[in-house]
Amino acid sequence: MSKTPLYDCHLQQQAKMVDFCGWDLPIHYGSQLKEHQSVRLDAGVFDVSHMTITDIHGPDARAYLRYILSNDVAKLEQHPMGKALYSALLNESGGIIDDLIVYRCANAYRLITNAATLQKVHAWLTLKSQAFNIRLQPRADLAILAVQGPNAIAKVAALKPHLATALCVLKSFASLNDQDWQFARTGYTGEMGLEILLPANEAACFWQALMAIGVSPCGLAARDTLRLEAGLNLYGHDMDESVSPLECNIVFAVDLRDVTRQFIGKDAYLALKASARQRHQIGLSLASGGILREGQKIFDGEKEIGVITSGTFSPSLKYSIALARVQAPVTKPFVEIRGARLAVQTTAIPFINATLKGC
């Protein structure tokens, strides 16, 4: 039976639902465009409880994470508890098993990974834990609500007045705890906002409270256009196990400063970095003539040089945008749409001014 969050049920009649990794999730609640604009202009909430939460306990937790993650959790010790780090989980070939966020909490480290990778990530974490004294604790008892937009924090603060001051000064990629709730200054839209981890049995009440103060419910379609405008990768599209961080613009998620630290995929990453074989991620835009879509081929003159990995019409910019993986350099790119080749412009990433950055 598919898992359906209870706090979506009162909107089921207007929502267009789809099965997503065993979860019934909304594509939209009536209008993708309105949901997109609500996040850009005010505040929207996404139910992202399908994301996987895993707590890692034990005396070797730090050493274990320094070995399996491309970024270095030792950096978190320079900050207060609750600090987050964006990282990748690499295989021995340097390909990305998943991208994730890791938090340093009081009694554990917490990983937030993708829903589509749940089985393979759990198998990988378990396999690589055998030499370490740790315990993996899946947290299916927790839900995640992402409240995003320029007014998102103010609206959450209105519902949590005792936390208002702390929430309003909370820095990007930091979090604070209030009993069993965790408020994290992270997100997937390029806007200000919070990802709130809370007991699943309290999520319905909080969702409804957000609705009552005018926060708009948002579905998968708006989440995709928002993240693409912000230049953020989607696992399984812009990255996968055949793609290196060098090839999808997340080199900031690989920390090489401690030369003594050995992590899975490091040797392959360094070999590719030193070679001329690596592909590159670029941004593309198309003002008219069609919509850029995943899978469309990219040409430079007559030479095929790559493919679009994510593409859509941007509701904010009013033209089509895309992420593409290509062989560099690119001088005169064209995209093939329904057999015709159209000139496209290379564009800086992010396509809009994103506010969220990792450390």
3-state SS assignment for residue 120: helix
Strand blocks (E) in the chain: 16-20, 23-28, 44-47, 52-57, 84-90, 96-104, 109-113, 135-138, 142-148, 175-178, 181-184, 193-199, 216-218, 280-286, 297-300, 303-313, 320-326, 333-337, 340-343, 345-347
pLDDT of 288: 84
3-state SS assignment for residue 77: helix
Confidence of residue 8 (pLDDT cuts 50, 70, 90): low
Averaged over 211-218, what is the pLDDT? 97
pLDDT of 354: 46
- Whether the pLDDT of residue 95 is over 90: the answer is yes
Cis status, amide bond into 161, omega within 30 of 0 = no
Least confident of 23-27, 99-103, 321-325: 23-27
pLDDT of 4: 57
- Whether the pLDDT of residue 322 is over 80: the answer is yes
pLDDT of 245: 98
Least confident of 20-24, 37-41, 227-231, 307-311: 20-24
CA–CA separation, 118 and 52 (whole Å): 7
3-state SS assignment for residue 161: helix
Confidence of residue 2 (pLDDT cuts 50, 70, 90): very low
Q: Are 251 and 358 in contact (CB under 8 A)?
A: no
Instruction: Please provide the DSSP assignment of 9-43 as one string.
Output: GGGTTT-EEEEETTEEEEEESS-HHHHHHHHHHS-
pLDDT digits (tens, 9 = 90+) for 285-308: 998 889 999 999 999 988 999 999
What average pLDDT is seen over the chain? Answer: 94
Burial 282-304 (b: 16+ CB within 10 A, else e): bbbbbeeeeebebebebbbeeee
- Whether the pLDDT of residue 230 is over 60: the answer is yes
CA–CA separation, 257 and 241 (whole Å): 24
pTM value? 0.93
pLDDT digits (tens, 9 = 90+) for 115-166: 999 999 999 999 999 999 999 999 999 999 999 999 999 999 999 999 999 9
CA–CA separation, 285 and 344 (whole Å): 6
User: Edge-to-edge, what's the strand order for the sheet holding 44-47?
Assistant: 175-178, 181-184, 193-199, 142-148, 44-47, 216-218
pLDDT of 278: 86
pLDDT digits (tens, 9 = 90+) for 233-282: 999 999 999 999 999 999 999 999 999 999 999 999 999 999 988 899 99
pLDDT digits (tens, 9 = 90+) for 260-270: 999 999 999 99
Classify residue 187 by its DSSP letter: -
- Whether the pLDDT of residue 56 is over 70: the answer is yes
The full set of domains in the chain, from first to last, is 6-50+140-229 (3.30.1360.120), 279-349 (2.40.30.110)
- Whether the pLDDT of residue 359 is over 70: the answer is no
3-state SS assignment for residue 209: helix
pLDDT of 1: 29
CA–CA separation, 283 and 248 (whole Å): 11
- Whether the pLDDT of residue 12 is over 70: the answer is no
Instruction: Please provide the DSSP assignment of 258-277 as one string.
Output: STT---TTHHHHHHHHHSS-
CA–CA separation, 307 and 330 (whole Å): 13
Place of tokens 């590159």: 280
